[in-house]
Amino acid sequence: MALHEDNRVFCEKTELFSDAFYGTITKTYEHSALVKVEPDQLSKKETDKIDSFGDLVVIRYSELQLVDAAGKPMEEPAEELEAAE
């Protein structure tokens, strides 16, 4: 998946959260991303789980959908392949 820092994403229900939410990627890893959850996206019960992390959660790429500012799904950018020398 070709997600990058500062991409806005949508996450359906996960093992950790029962509510879907929007957020912004702050760091990418090999198979997941650190996502800053947008304010008021999760119920109080759910936010208690992440308060100690400053509203940051690690989510697998397979659970994230790239969205625009209006929350509509977008095409994922293609990975840029490096040319062999």
Exposed / middle / buried, residue 43 (Cβ in 10 Å: 0-12, 13-18, 19+): exposed
Whole-number pLDDT of residue 33? 94
**pLDDT tens digit at each of 85 positions of the chain:** 588 999 999 998 777 777 889 999 999 999 999 999 888 776 665 666 665 567 888 899 999 999 998 888 887 655 555 555 5
36 Cβ neighbours under 8 A, 6+ residues apart? 23, 24, 26, 54, 55, 56
Q: Which letter does DSSP use for residue 57 in this model?
A: E
pTM of the model: 0.75
